[in-house]
């Protein structure tokens, strides 16, 4: 079953455990929705008020960057891993 992993940097603010999301999570959006069901506080760190990925968040599905950052339609295979990172910026 797909698993969503979060960067340990999020742990500074709230619990962000890895979550097995089950076989029904066929898209990135469905996988994240499954995580937010049990961990609703994570949603505001990952998604903006329109439901799109925040600019400072990088998400990889099976090692590839998420392509649909607005509607989260990237397909997720039954045993794939999703990694959610806070993107670093500055200079």
Q: Which domains does the chain have, with CATH numbers?
A: 3-86 (3.10.20.30)
pLDDT of residue 48: 97
Query: What pLDDT score does 37 carry?
Result: 95
Residue with tokens 């962000």: 16
Strand partners, 85: 58
What is the full per-residue pLDDT of the chain (91 aa) written as tens digits? 999 999 988 888 899 999 999 988 999 999 999 999 999 999 999 999 999 999 999 999 999 999 999 999 999 999 999 999 987 666 5
The pLDDT assigned to 86 comes to 85
Which contacts (CB < 8 Å, 24+ apart) does range 8-15 have?
Answer: 9/85, 9/86, 10/42, 10/45, 10/84, 10/86, 13/45, 14/41, 14/42, 14/45, 15/39
Q: Which two tokens stand for residue 53?
A: 């990925």
**Distance, CA of 66 to CA of 58 (rounded, Å):** 8
Specify the pLDDT at position 10: 84
pLDDT at 88: 67
């Amino acid at each position: 079953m797909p698993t969503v992993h979060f960067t340990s940097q999020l742990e500074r603010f709230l619990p962000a455990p890895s979550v097995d999301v089950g076989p029904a999570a066929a898209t990135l959006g469905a996988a994240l929705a499954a995580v937010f069901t049990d961990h609703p506080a994570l949603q505001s760190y990952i998604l903006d008020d329109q439901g799109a990925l925040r600019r400072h968040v990088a998400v990889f599905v099976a090692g590839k960057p998420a392509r649909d950052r607005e509607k989260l339609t990237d397909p997720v295979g039954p045993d794939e891993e999703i990694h959610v990172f806070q993107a670093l910026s500055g200079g």
